[in-house]
Amino acid sequence: MLFRGTDTIAVLAEWALAEIILNPDVQSRLHTELDRVVGSNRAVEHEDINHLPYLQAVVKETLRCHPPGPLLSWARLAIQDTQVAGLHIPRGTTAMVNMWAITHDPSVWPDPHVFNPSRFLETEGGVEFDVRGNDLRLAPFGSGRRVCPGRSLGLETAHLWLARLLHHFSWSQAPNFPITLEDNLKFSCEMASPLHSYPTFRVPLQTIE
């Protein structure tokens, strides 16, 4: 519960903030959307998330670029010779689903190394996409009988965290700590160099108590 219940959400938020800082146009668009939907006189509430499509697209694109758990369900042991996707899997083979490889495959995702939330917006030529395991092109929580039971709570938490962080603050890189997107697979796929950033209060939001 500690591993998948808190660590992955924190890692996802860190990756998202890193990409948002490195893409000022994305941050600006998030601020505009939050100001339009939420305004400057109150904090973001759970009910607001459904009205923040660009924020949802940013979370999906972060999950695509930086899946916190890139090896789904860890390992499975083949107890007999079998076939998977036309490949022969001998008995005794340990197999894992590499979600990172799928989400960075150019035959599946055009320009896979470009952070582009608009790929998930139908209004901008993208596709509506459910990341809860219904489409294996992007299934960061797994799929089937062993899908992550906390996927809905995890998504709701990540959206609310990011919305509030972006609603209250503008974010920039910390001097002498350049952001690098190299990863390091531990319990989750973390940033190899932890994110250092500067939050700045946004002027229209100083009246929020």
CATH number of 2-205: 1.10.630.10
**pLDDT tens digits for 175-205?**
999 999 999 887 778 889 999 999 999 855 5
Query: 33-42, 78-87, 127-136 — which is least confidently predicted?
Result: 127-136
Spatial separation of the C-alpha atoms in residues 154 and 36, rounded to whole Å:
25
Spatial separation of the C-alpha atoms in residues 161 and 55, rounded to whole Å:
11
DSSP-derived secondary structure for 59-122: HHHHHHHS-SS-EEEEEEE-SS-EEETTEEE-TT-EEEEEHHHHHT-TTTSSSTTS--GGGG-G
H-assigned helices in the chain: 2, 8-22, 24-37, 53-65, 99-103, 151-168
Spatial separation of the C-alpha atoms in residues 80 and 89, rounded to whole Å:
8
Q: Is 80 helix (H, G, I), strand (E, B) or coil?
A: coil
93, pLDDT greater than 90: yes
pTM of the predicted structure, to 2 decimals:
0.88
What pLDDT was estimated at residue 73?
A: 63
Percent of the residues in the chain that have a pLDDT greater than 70, as a whole number: 92
Based on the number of CB atoms within 10 Å of its own CB, is 149 exposed (0-12), middle (13-18) or buried (19 or more)? Answer: exposed
Rg (CA), the chain: 18
**pLDDT tens digits for 161-170?**
999 999 999 9
Q: Where are the domains of the chain?
A: 2-205
